[in-house]
Each structure stands twice: as structure tokens, then as C-alpha cells.
């Protein structure tokens, strides 16, 4: 067998060789759950109730994760049922007996409920214990190396459930994973919420405290210290700022996510897709906390920046395959690290959904251990039967043919949608029209000659989203006209929406007008970055000197406020790296110099992105 421990690669170039040692096997189990948080406790309880011999390992001195140590104790969206509903019901009942007031579920009551459920399920629990390595036999996980005050030990198990939140066990086992946005690798901002006492009881005050590189031990400490420092006041605290507690654990919304047998996508959620191996449902708005949508994916920019659909509820099935790391056996992932792209994480990470995923993982682990087969070979129908009994899934899922044949996101007739384009709030209508693809093009082209300017622009948006060059003329018109912001939440001004789509289309005729906007003295950094990226996509050499002129100027570096309004952050790095990439693409060495300025940024995630872009340029990947 082979022991694998995480390797941290530091730029200091200093390493220490650790001598090999014998490690005592302190426990053996059918199922080992690593992580006693949101998904881990339901996983352990579900496995224990299936009469599996279960061990649970948790790094905190108590259970509950985000809802207890993270102090986010109010459910937001998600789809519950089963053990999730039982946990919620028991916690509320205990709060009544204690006569404790709280918004949502009181963290201390939830700790007690989870602890009692674990005890009743006969789960052996190791608290204040870290998992620091895995024991492998080829690509099969056989056990985990743990460490606590008693020293370094081993726990062997037939099936391991990774409920660490960050996919630590999967990563140590060699599973492929990704982190953050495809472009710059940025993850969602973290939080470290304080708690205050209001008339209605305890309430956490959630705000985004900044960004975090979860793989950098120094950055983790920085995030904890800065997160608390945001609450320091040099003057008298106001009534709303008098806190009784600050969360002891970072509220990490996103870190690594595994590459599994299936990766859930934002389009799956928008289309409300069904899967034959469904084990849970996710539901939320597109809860992306980014303040720089210019660096998000094309689909995110269309959905939020152009159409303003940030608040629209979306959701879909979560297939069992998302829990299975590709190429690794005997391991089930049950946390926010399940297989999905960055965009899909927004609706997946909700606590209700994670608790249900944990229950499904525990059932799967117990069944696999009993049958003596890897989780990948387990028939998902056997999990579904139990989840139907538990109240998580509807009975119809057991009839695959009927379940998969039911329409879940029907399209209104195209003519009806075209008729609704003249309505003031037509963002969803525009999106629905784009789902018709080429079939919608003739009707949209007709609207481009309408006397109604609003109708022409809406038709151009739909065509632009489909990357049709016929939209370019009307979109260019929007660059030169005064328009207010789009009606929906978080949408950009119309001319910036037009600029985004003109960049996606690659319209060279738009370059002069795009540069004219970039030269405006009061252009904000977000709009500037949208414009620079659009110009980079078009790739016309005439944009080079104006972009250089822009970044040489005394740019106003007004910090932007993160969600919650407590923390501000400079976005100059975003403008510089976007401009530098365009310059390098067009062969100007100033681009490299511009990006090199950010190699010493105090923020790890900025340094890493700058280094990534420079390495891409050296490999000739700047097209």
C-alpha cells in the first residue's frame, strides 16, 4: 500500500524529507466519513441507520460545519427533505424547549441535535482530528491517515466519504480537480460573519470579507486575521455593530471541485435538466458573489450582466455520478467539491442541498460496503428507493422512462415569445427566444427593421447572444446612444451589454466606438475591463495604442464594495491584466511589463493569475 500526503509547493524552494514510519491502525470501519459538517453528519447518520459500521472524523471540536462553526444558520434556497427535514425539525423543537430565540436554527441547538443523531446511529466520532493523508492501493482508497493530540494514526475502511468541503481526501488520492473561474482561477469571496443579539434572537451578519487561496497556508491565516480585523472600530460601536461572537471558521463558498463521472453545469440548472441517476435536487438564484462579472464566463455575463437574471430561481437534478471522482475507487465526494463547473456551484452549495447529498452519499457508502463493490458499480436505483422512502425524492424517479419523458422546462411558442418582446421587462423572453436557435433568426431579423427602437435592441440582444453577425449594426447603434441601465438586477448599462456581444461576435466595425467609450474620463474599471476584453476578442491592431494610453493615464482606483458593503477592494489588477493580455496578443512587450507589476501583489490569487498569464504567453496561448 502507498501513503499519500498533500504536497505544498512553495516558491522558497525549501523542502524537508520526512522519514518513513509505522502508523498504528486505530480503527476500522465499513464506512469512514471525513468531515462532520453540513453533508458529513447526514452521510454518517444515513450509513449508520443502514447498519453499517461507521467512523466520523471532524477537525472542529463539535459538529455542524457552516451552520455551527461558520455561523450561517439560516437556510437559503436549496431543496431539502429526508434527514435534512429531520435535523431542522429536531433543532426547532429543541430551541422551543430551551426558549432560545434565533433567526433560523440556533447553532448551539443544532450542535446538540447532530451530536445526538450521531450517537443514536452508533457512529464512532473523532473530534479535533485532521485527515492528513490517504492510504492507496493503486487507484483504490483503503484508508486515511489522521492526526490529533494522540499523534499520527490510520483508519481503514471499505468506503470513504469525503465531506471535507474542499475535497481534501479526493485531492490527496490523486483525483483531478479544478479551482475557481476558468480564466483567472478566482473562487467566490469568503465570509467570517459576526453574530449579534436582536429582539428576535441571534442573527448572523453575513458580508463578503475578501478572496482566499485555500491552497496557500499563509493566505488562510491572512484571511482569518483580515476577516476579524474588518470588525475593528476606532470609535464607539453603534448599536447594530455590537456583536456577541465572530465565527471561528472561515465561510468558504468555493475551493476545489473534483472532475467526476459527470460535471453539472449552469446550463443544466437553467434548463432544469433531469438525470436518471438523480439523488438530490438543487435550487437557487445564480448566487454569484463576484463584483467583477467581466471576468466571469460568457454564459454568466449573458445571464447576469446582459439579461439581469441574477435573481431568477434555477435548479435541476444532481446525478449520483457527480459524487464519483473520475479514476478513483472506493471514494464518494459529498460536499461543495462535487463535480460541477464554477457557474453551477452557485446553486449547488446551499445547505439544504448539501445535507441531502450527504444523506445520499451515506446510503451509497453503506450499500457498497455491504455488497462488497466499489461505489461506482452500485446501481443508483437502490439509492433512489431509500431516498423515496426518506422523503427526498418523488416516487416517479423509480420509473426511469416516465421520469425522463416528462417535460420540465417547456418552451412557450415562438410566436408568443416574439409578441412579448415589446414588454418592458423582457429579459426572460429574450432568453427563451434564444433557445429556439436558428428557427428564431428570421423573425428576429424582421424586427431589426422595426420603427420601435426598444424592439430593435431586444431583437439585437437575442441575435447577439446567439452570436449572429446580423445583430452587429443595431448593437453598434447602442454604443453611440444614451441609454440607462437595463431594467433587471445587476445588469450593466446597455452600451456595455452591446460591447460585450460585439466582442463575442468579433465585429471590427465596432472598434472606433468601443475606443471612444474607453477614452471617457469617468469610465469605471468594470466597464473599462468589459471594453478591453471585447477589443481583445476582436483583435484589431488599431486598438493597441488607445489601450496603452488608457493604462498609462492616471486611472481612478476607487475601490469597489464587496457584497454586504463592509469590505472594499481595488480592481486595478483586473484592468491591467486584461489590457496586458490584449497587448501581448497583439505583440507589444508592454503587456508583459504591465502584468509583471502584479507578481508581488499581497493577494495570492492575484499573483497566481498574473503568473498564469505570463506562462500562457510563453507557451504561445494568447490567441
Q: Which residues pair with 54 in a beta bridge?
A: 31
DSSP H or E segment with residue 194: strand 194-198
Length of the chain: 623
Q: What's the confidence (pLDDT) of residue 23?
A: 93
Average pLDDT across each block of 10 residues of the chain; the chain has 623 residues. List them in order. Answer: 56 69 96 98 99 98 96 94 98 91 91 98 99 98 98 98 98 96 91 87 86 85 90 79 88 94 98 98 96 96 97 97 99 98 96 98 99 98 98 97 89 96 95 97 97 96 98 96 63 95 98 96 91 97 95 76 82 93 94 95 89 92 74
How do 24-34 and 54-57 pair as beta strands? Answer: parallel
Cα dihedral angle (318, 320, 321, 327), rounded to 10 degrees? 140
* HSE-CB of 211 using CA atoms within 13 angstroms: 24
Q: How high is the pLDDT of residue 486?
A: 56
* Cell numbers standing for residue 49: 441507520
Task: Give the whole-angstrom CA distance, residue 296 versus residue 290.
Answer: 8
Decide if 510 contacts 472 (C-beta within 8 A). yes
DSSP lists the bridge partners of residue 195 as: 204, 245
Residues 6+ apart with CB under 8 A from 248: 60, 69
Q: Hey, what's the cell of 284?
A: 437557487
Within 10 angstroms of residue 184's Cβ, the number of other Cβ atoms is: 20
C-alpha cell at 373: 463493490
Backbone angles phi, psi at 505, to 5 degrees: -75, -30
d(CA 193, CA 246) in angstroms, rounded, equals 6
C-alpha dihedral (604, 607, 609, 614), degrees to nearest 10: -160
Residue 561, by phi and psi: left (phi above 0), alpha (psi -120 to 50) or beta?
beta
Element (H, E) at 245: strand 243-246
Q: In the structure, how many helices (H) and strands (E) does the chain have?
A: 23, 19
d(CA 521, CA 22): 67
Phi, psi of 405 (to 5 degrees): -90, -10
For 344-379, the DSSP string reads THHHH--HHHHHHHHHHHHHHHHHHHHHTS-GGGS-
> What distance in Å separates the CA atoms of residue 619 and residue 120, rounded to the nearest whole number?
57
Q: How far is CA 431 from CA 128, 232, 344, 450, 492, in A?
A: 49, 45, 18, 20, 16
How far is Cα 352 from Cα 39, in angstroms, rounded to an integer? 9
Bridge partners of 147? Answer: 130, 152
Dihedral of CA 446/480/307/181: which sign? positive
pLDDT of residue 11: 46
d(CA 265, CA 267): 5
Residue with the three cell numbers 449572429: 468
Q: Which domains are present in the chain?
A: 2-8+22-183+255-299+323-405 (3.50.50.60), 190-246 (no CATH), 414-618 (1.25.10.10)
Taking phi first (over 0 means left), then psi (-120 to 50 degrees means alpha), and beta for anything else, what does residue 213 get? beta
Burial class (CB in 10 A: 0-12, 13-18, 19+), 76: middle
Phi, psi of 229, deg, nearest 5? -65, -25
Question: How many CB atoms neighbour CB 366 within 10 A?
Answer: 27
Q: What is the pLDDT of residue 9?
A: 41
Q: Where do the DSSP E strands lie in 35-139?
A: 54-57, 124-126, 130-137
Alpha-helical (H) ranges within 75-161 are 83-98, 107-120
SS3 at position 25? strand
Write the CB contacts of 198 (distance below 8 Å, at least 6 apart in sequence).
103
What's the pTM value of the predicted model, to 2 decimals? 0.94
Strand bridging mode 140-148 / 151-162: antiparallel
Amino acid at each position: 500500500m502507498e501513503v499519500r500526503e498533500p504536497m505544498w509547493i512553495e516558491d522558497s524552494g525549501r523542502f524537508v524529507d520526512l522519514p518513513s514510519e509505522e502508523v498504528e491502525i486505530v480503527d476500522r470501519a465499513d464506512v469512514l466519513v471525513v468531515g462532520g459538517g453540513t453533508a458529513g453528519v447526514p452521510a454518517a447518520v444515513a450509513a449508520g441507520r443502514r447498519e453499517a459500521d461507521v467512523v466520523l472524523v471532524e477537525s472542529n471540536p463539535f459538529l455542524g460545519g457552516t451552520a455551527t462553526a461558520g455561523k450561517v444558520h439560516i437556510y437559503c434556497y436549496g431543496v431539502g427533505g429526508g434527514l435534512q427535514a429531520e435535523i431542522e425539525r429536531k433543532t426547532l423543537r429543541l430551541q422551543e424547549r430551551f426558549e432560545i430565540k434565533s433567526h433560523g436554527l440556533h447553532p448551539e441547538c443544532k450542535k446538540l441535535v447532530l451530536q445526538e443523531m450521531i450517537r443514536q446511529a452508533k457512529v464512532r466520532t473523532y473530534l479535533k482530528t485532521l485527515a492528513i493523508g490517504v492510504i492507496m492501493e493503486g487507484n483504490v482508497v483503503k484508508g486515511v491517515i489522521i492526526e490529533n493530540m494522540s499523534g499520527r494514526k490510520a483508519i481503514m475502511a471499505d468506503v470513504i466519504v469525503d465531506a471535507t468541503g474542499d475535497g481534501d481526501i479526493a485531492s490527496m488520492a490523486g483525483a483531478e480537480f479544478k479551482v475557481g473561474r476558468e480564466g483567472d482561477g478566482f473562487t467566490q469571496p469568503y465570509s467570517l460573519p459576526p453574530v449579534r443579539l436582536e429582539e428576535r434572537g441571534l442573527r448572523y451578519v453575513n458580508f463578503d470579507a475578501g478572496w482566499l487561496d485555500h491552497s496557500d497556508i499563509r493566505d488562510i491565516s491572512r484571511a482569518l486575521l483580515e476577516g476579524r480585523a474588518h470588525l475593528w472600530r476606532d470609535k464607539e460601536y453603534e448599536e447594530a455593530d455590537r456583536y456577541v461572537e465572530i465565527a471561528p471558521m472561515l465561510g468558504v463558498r468555493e475551493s476545489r471541485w473534483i472532475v467526476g463521472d459527470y460535471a453539472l453545469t449552469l446550463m443544466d440548472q437553467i434548463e432544469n435538466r433531469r438525470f436518471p441517476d438523480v439523488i438530490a435536487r438543487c435550487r437557487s438564484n445564480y448566487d454569484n458573489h463576484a463584483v467583477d462579472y467581466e471576468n466571469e464566463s460568457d454564459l454568466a455575463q449573458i445571464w447576469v450582466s446582459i439579461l439581469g437574471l441574477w435573481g431568477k430561481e434555477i435548479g435541476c437534478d444532481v446525478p449520483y455520478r457527480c459524487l464519483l471522482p473520475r479514476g478513483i475507487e472506493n471514494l464518494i465526494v459529498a460536499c461543495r467539491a462535487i463535480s460541477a463547473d464554477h457557474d453551477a456551484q452557485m446553486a449547488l452549495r446551499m445547505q439544504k442541498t448539501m445535507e441531502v447529498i450527504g444523506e445520499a452519499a451515506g446510503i451509497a457508502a453503506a450499500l457498497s460496503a455491504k455488497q462488497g463493490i466499489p461505489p461506482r458499480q452500485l446501481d443508483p436505483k437502490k439509492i433512489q428507493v431509500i431516498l423515496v422512502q426518506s422523503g427526498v425524492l418523488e416516487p416517479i424517479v423509480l420509473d426511469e422512462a416516465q421520469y425522463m419523458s416528462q417535460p420540465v422546462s417547456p418552451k412557450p411558442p415562438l410566436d408568443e415569445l416574439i409578441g412579448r418582446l415589446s414588454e418592458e421587462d423582457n429579459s426572460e423572453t429574450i432568453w427563451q427566444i434564444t433557445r429556439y436557435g436558428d428557427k428564431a433568426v428570421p423573425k428576429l431579423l424582421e424586427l431589426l427593421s422595426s420603427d420601435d427602437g426598444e424592439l430593435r435592441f431586444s431583437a439585437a440582444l437575442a441575435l447577439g447572444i446567439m452570436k449572429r453577425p446580423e445583430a452587429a449594426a443595431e448593437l453598434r447603434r447602442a454604443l453611440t446612444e444614451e441609454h440607462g441601465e437595463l431594467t433587471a438586477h445587476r445588469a450593466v448599462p446597455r452600451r456595455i451589454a452591446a460591447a460585450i456581444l460585439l466582442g463575442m461576435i468579433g465585429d471590427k466595425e465596432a472598434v472606433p466606438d468601443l475606443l471612444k467609450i474607453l477614452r471617457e474620463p469617468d469610465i469605471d474599471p468594470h466597464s473599462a475591463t468589459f471594453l478591453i476584453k471585447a477589443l481583445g476578442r476582436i483583435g484589431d491592431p488599431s486598438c493597441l495604442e488607445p489601450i496603452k494610453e488608457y493604462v498609462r493615464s492616471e486611472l481612478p482606483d476607487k475601490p469597489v464594495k464587496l457584497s454586504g458593503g463592509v469590505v472594499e477592494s481595488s480592481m486595478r489588477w483586473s484592468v491591467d491584466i486584461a489590457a496586458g493580455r490584449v497587448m501581448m496578443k497583439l505583440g507589444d512587450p508592454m503587456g508583459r511589463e504591465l502584468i509583471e507589476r502584479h507578481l508581488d501583489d499581497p493577494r495570492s490569487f492575484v499573483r497566481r493569475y498574473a503568473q498564469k498569464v505570463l506562462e500562457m504567453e510563453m507557451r504561445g496561448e494568447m490567441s
